[in-house]
Structure 1
């Protein structure tokens, strides 16, 4: 059922996006007004061998957009940089999301303003870089509506938005091994005896802060995370997986508490044992 809903959402998204593109041709600029939102490209200047840029989505009051994993429903951002000039590659860095639960289920979202830092690798560092982005993203209040923005920006090195991008980078979860001796840590993952494959995930968080946990796997793997009212143990359940799936299966656990966030990679072998 979840996969059918996701497929329907993506199909609906694609149809509306194509219709909007045909009906409303636009000239790309650094900033575009969308459905209850505004998207723009921002320049953070040079950072070593890279250019530092960002995609900023500002939302109207009460609206939200989605993380790379949207949760039970929603539309993750999609980036098409193919029209860019002198760009060898782009890497999106993802600040930690918020967990939002309503009648539609659990979604992983950004509210008010989302800034996604982009590390841009030029083909020739001595030549100018021009970013051209076709951006698809979801905007949601009661229902999710697809939005599209055509954006372009010449990176000049003026670093006018460097502080904004650096503030977003500070919210990107830091890689951390299992059972690390830190105030925020994923301590253990243990199989549970349930109808579906499930795991107890024990964490450590700073005193007085309520942690949130997000679980991600390969394509066509879908997880749910049961959040305790209090305590430090979550239940992660494999809701869907490919029929021919075999281990080892990489799973990324993102743990957030307050303004701190870490991500821990674990691996499930063929019988479902973590390692």
Structure 2
């Protein structure tokens, strides 16, 4: 009888322990394994008044994740830093994406391994900095699956990942004025007639490269960009836009060719025509 009671007590204790364990909140760590992916925070030491950090997303073979604007489909990354300590601001720097086209349309993506740099400014430079990030991102092969990661990292003088962060920063498009004379540049835009508002974007790119153009507008504006029709001209079409809108409307054009990338801002009127 006593042995039966002890066995029952042990069983109850095990069940209770499992229940308590399940009830404990999951503590964030520097890295998290997700759906066909692994996300982690990395640090690169101090740079002036900022600290270098990065969000690294490593993907299984054949999978991809998305840029700040995903294209025709997909989920852009979302960052919640509200749990961080001694952080005045976090500035995301976006490396240039790649253009991926399949049956679902055209997507703006990162593949294999992406490092998204973050410039962190502390509230008090004399005190420790702890990054706490709730990350949401999309992982896609044939369909897009939402993924989540709860990450934390104490920034210190260690800069073991500085090279990876600096390599990602080198891929961030350079801001450039319309018509700039450079190896890679957006020279002009001009309206074209059609069923939908559209315009041509004339570019200059280094010989032997295959340029790609990524148009971005305000919320609820959706654009598509063709392959260059004549090697130096894209056609950008406004697929959707709000009904009631007033100009000027900012439009960001990111041009990528080889290992170079530039970003140019232009303005449209309320009808979607270049100003």
TM, length-normalised to structure 2: 0.90
How do 1:94-243 residues align onto structure 2 when only pairs under 5 Å count?
Answer: 94-228=94-228, 231-243=231-243
- Structure 1 pair 191–230 and aligned structure 2 pair: CA distance change class (3 A): closer
Which secondary structure does the structure 2 equivalent of 1:66 belong to?
strand
CA–CA separation in structure 2 for the residues paired with 1:147 and 1:41: 16
CA–CA separation in structure 2 for the residues paired with 1:24 and 1:264: 48
The Cα offsets for residues 117-144 of structure 1, whole Å up to 9 and x where unpaired, read as 0001111111110000000000001111
State the Cα distance separating 1:229 from its structure 2 match.
5.8
CA–CA separation in structure 1 for the residues paired with 2:187 and 2:256: 14
Of the two, which has the highest radius of gyration? Answer: 2
Corresponding residue for 1:67? 67
State the Cα distance separating 1:196 from its structure 2 match.
1.0
CA–CA separation in structure 1 for the residues paired with 2:70 and 2:86: 31
CA–CA separation in structure 2 for the residues paired with 1:244 and 1:224: 21
- Structure 1 pair 204–91 and aligned structure 2 pair: CA distance change class (3 A): same
Instruction: Count how many residue pairs are aligned between Structure 1 and Structure 2.
Output: 254
CA–CA separation in structure 1 for the residues paired with 2:271 and 2:257: 32
State the Cα distance separating 1:230 from its structure 2 match.
5.0
Q: In 1, are the aligned partners of 2:224 and 2:236 still within 8 Å (CA)?
A: yes
Which secondary structure does the structure 2 equivalent of 1:267 belong to?
strand
Does 2:46 match 1:46?
A: yes
Corresponding residue for 2:34? 34
- Structure 1 pair 230–193 and aligned structure 2 pair: CA distance change class (3 A): closer
CA RMSD of aligned residues (A): 1.5
CA–CA separation in structure 1 for the residues paired with 2:103 and 2:23: 33
- Structure 1 pair 230–61 and aligned structure 2 pair: CA distance change class (3 A): farther
CA–CA separation in structure 2 for the residues paired with 1:193 and 1:24: 61
- Structure 1 pair 62–272 and aligned structure 2 pair: CA distance change class (3 A): closer
Q: In 1, are the aligned partners of 2:134 and 2:148 still within 8 Å (CA)?
A: yes
CA–CA separation in structure 2 for the residues paired with 1:36 and 1:156: 30
CA–CA separation in structure 1 for the residues paired with 2:204 and 2:23: 52
The Cα offsets for residues 92-132 of structure 1, whole Å up to 9 and x where unpaired, read as 00000000000000000000000000001111111110000
Q: Structure 1: give runs of 5+ residues left out of the alignment.
A: 1-21
CA–CA separation in structure 2 for the residues paired with 1:36 and 1:90: 27
State the Cα distance separating 1:27 from its structure 2 match.
1.6
Larger displacement relative to structure 2 (190-199 or 225-234): 225-234
Q: Structure 2: give runs of 5+ residues left out of the alignment.
A: 1-21
CA–CA separation in structure 2 for the residues paired with 1:271 and 1:66: 29
Corresponding residue for 1:254? 254
CA–CA separation in structure 2 for the residues paired with 1:229 and 1:264: 20
Which secondary structure does the structure 2 equivalent of 1:196 belong to?
coil
State the Cα distance separating 1:273 from its structure 2 match.
3.6
State the Cα distance separating 1:272 from its structure 2 match.
3.8
